[in-house]
Chains A and B, each alone.
Chain A
Amino acid sequence: MPIDKNRDMWKPGEPWEQAIDDMKYVRGLAAELGGPERVKRQHSGGRYTIRERIEKMVDPGSFLEAGPMVGAAEFDDEGNMVEFTPGAYVMGLGEIDGRPVAIGGDDFTISGGSPHNVRKHSRQFTQPLATQYGIPYIQLVEGVGHSAKADEAAGHMGLPGGDLWWKGVELMKRVPVAAGIMGSVAGAPAAFALMSHFTVMVKEQSQIFPSGPPVVRRAIGEQMDKEELGGYKRHVHESGQVDNVAESEEDAFEQIKAFISYLPNTTNDVAPRVETGDPPDRRPEELLNIHPPIRRRGYDPRKLIKLVVDNGEFFEMRRHWASSIITGFARLDGYSVGIIGSDPMKLAGAMDGWAAEKYAHFVDLCDAFNLPVVIFLDMPGFMLGSHAERIATMRRGIRALIASAEAKVPKIEFNIRKAYGVAADAAHSLGHPDGLNLRFGWPAGEWGGIPIEGGVAAAYRREIENAPDPEAHRAMIEGRLLKLRSPFRAAYRGDVVDLIDPRETRRLACTFVKLAQPMLHKLAEREKRAVRP
């Protein structure tokens, strides 16, 4: 519906019926977004408009728009509207599976989501609503940030002010924040997207950077297309800037829904229990032989996790980055939990600097949202060698250790196989002294300050060198120590609560999570800091 410049619009004192008609009319104009041509261009790029995105995210008919009439209007001498550009941010309240959320996103069809003639922003409506009512906040971002045209219109270049951000930081302290990066995103919209607890970008459709290729070329002379500069390979696989990649926009919406489904409404609540129908005492037979008998071989750790959790449903976050550590959410007996696992197929499961960062961030996230943490540990230690040194592996590992020690949420740990050195401490630091922190060992468990192979070579070096047959001598000492490595010895000494049949893992984990609930409600009362992505 194009604008009708001759429309005699309602004036104060005229009948209400005409005012109601005009409201519908202006809303109709806003629903046009950037006009049919721009909408067509959005669609031909394989992308939905912001209104379509919101409709697909929320329960049908539940969207209650905030500011549907906000836009840049121009009037003639009679007071009739002759020009109207809708504000390029569509937002409001909606429900996802019956749960209220605040949701909004940029309208890319209007000046690339960055119009210079109207200020309409989530800070005005959805951010304060989400904070005040304590409901999840979802942003679907596709905009390019500050426009130089805005400076020309304003007649001055403003000093960047922190006022843009503090509402976002308040949100991060208080409610789950999830962002879909739906296209090319730069500048402030990119920063808003990353100020989230969960981010997802669409494969080969989304890119994110402070500035795109033209600005990069101008600034440093580097020539690169936008996908190479800031696409999913760069940011989901290599840098870890964005948590997850989606195959399609629909997949991104599903991932956002899954993410918030595991979290409580605020950092001062506990995630509600959901009836999953999976018996807590189920004994997954396959767990018994999930390891190869050869301890030098890997196995599929996701299969292990899925065998334990309710109905095999595991929502993984940051899968493609720092992948020797696995992080994600699941349910046990219907209760939400954070899951941390080792992946022996990646870096042998060792903790390098990035894996330590991933670990620390995830523990902080669980602590903020009062989720108990279930750990499946198979940790050979810090990753060794020059690559790991280059990324400050031990300093970042200490960060993980501190995060773990400070996290007051209860933790349970299954020592699946290896647990060596400080890196293993980082993962299973017991944290709060009054916490409900339990450790169980599987029969394949082996642990210590240093693995026998490296430990013997270092501590017995001179003795081995001076032996008539050094190789045989080394093997002899290793054989002596091998007996000590039995997890039974550690169990006799009380290192673990118990050695268990791996098939008991689910039952024990479910018992733990149920036990943890009263404490979680107390922990929910703590004041929280914003989790730093």
Chain B
Amino acid sequence: MADIPVESPITGVIVEISVSVGDTVEFGDVLVVIESMKMENEILSDYDGVVKEIRVRNNQNISQDDVMLILEE
């Protein structure tokens, strides 16, 4: 049960958090949506796991490489 930090691949503003703590997610599921470069960038899960912690909120600015949430494998 390893913790997997999910880092933002892009700098922008969080416009949607598509999961809640305790949700089971699969590879390819949308985790959050970040508005950047005039696009709504869907950030997809690279792993199967359970959402353990969410560290961002809506309308928050986020920098590339910041941890957004923690998945538990």
Contact = CB atoms under 8 A, between A and B. Distances in A.
Do A and B truly interact? yes
Interface of A: 294, 296-298, 344-350, 380-381, 383-387, 451, 453-454
Interface in B1-25: 9-11
Contacts of A344: 39
B64 A385 contact: yes
Contact of B9 (A346, A349, A451): A346
Given A385-B64, A387-B64, A348 B36 contact: yes
Which of B10, B37, B63, B64 has the most chain A CB within a 10 Å cutoff? B37
Contact of B39 (A296, A387, A454): A296
A380 B38 contact: yes
A385 B39 contact: no
Contacts of A385: 11, 64
B64 to A, nearest CB: 5
Nearest to B11: A385
Nearest to A347: B10
Interface of B: 9-11, 36-42, 44, 63-65
Contacts of A381: 37
B47 to A, nearest CB: 13
B39 A348 contact: yes
Given A298-B40, A387-B11, A454-B38, 11 more contacts: A296-B38, A296-B39, A296-B40, A297-B39, A298-B39, A345-B44, A347-B10, A348-B10, A348-B36, A348-B39, A348-B41
18 contacts: A294-B40, A296-B38, A296-B39, A296-B40, A297-B39, A297-B42, A298-B42, A344-B39, A345-B41, A346-B9, A347-B10, A347-B37, A348-B10, A348-B39, A349-B37, A386-B11, A386-B63, A387-B63
A400 B9 CA distance: 23
Given A385-B64, A387-B64, A348 B11 contact: no
Contacts of A347: 9-10, 37
Closest 3 CB pairs of A and B: A348-B37, A348-B39, A387-B64
Nearest to A382: B37
A345 B44 CA distance: 9
Contacts of B42: 297-298, 345
A348 B37 CA distance: 6
Which of B11, B38, B40, B44 has the most chain A CB within a 10 Å cutoff? B38
Contacts of B63: 386-387
Contact of A380 (B37, B40, B44): B37
Q: Is the interface of B mostly helix, strand, loop or mixed?
A: loop
A454 B41 CA distance: 18
Q: Is the interface of A mostly helix, strand, loop or mixed?
A: loop
Nearest to B34: A348
Given A347-B9, A385-B11, A453 B64 contact: no
Contacts of B10: 347-348
A347 B64 CA distance: 10
B29 to A, nearest CB: 14
B37 A350 contact: yes
B2 to A, nearest CB: 14
A297 B33 CA distance: 10
Contacts of A454: 38
Contacts of A345: 41-42, 44
A380 B64 CA distance: 18
Contacts of A298: 39-42
Nearest to A350: B37
Contacts of A383: 37
Contacts of B41: 298, 345, 348
Which of A344, A346, A385, A454 has the most chain B CB within a 10 Å cutoff? A385
Contacts of B40: 294, 296-298
A381 B36 CA distance: 12
Nearest to A292: B40
Contacts of B37: 347-350, 380-381, 383-384
Contacts of A386: 11, 63
Contacts of A384: 37
B38 A451 contact: yes
Contacts of A294: 40
A380 B42 CA distance: 16
Nearest to B41: A348
Contacts of B36: 348
A351 B10 CA distance: 12
A362 to B, nearest CB: 21
B41 to A, nearest CB: 6
A297 B35 CA distance: 10
Contacts of A348: 10, 36-39, 41
Contacts of A297: 39-40, 42
Nearest to A294: B40
Which of A296, A346, A349, A380 has the most chain B CB within a 10 Å cutoff? A296
B24 to A, nearest CB: 23
B16 to A, nearest CB: 12
Contacts of A380: 37-39
A296 to B, nearest CB: 5
A218 to B, nearest CB: 30
A386 B10 CA distance: 11
Contacts of A451: 38
A383 B40 CA distance: 15
Nearest to A453: B38
A298 B64 CA distance: 19
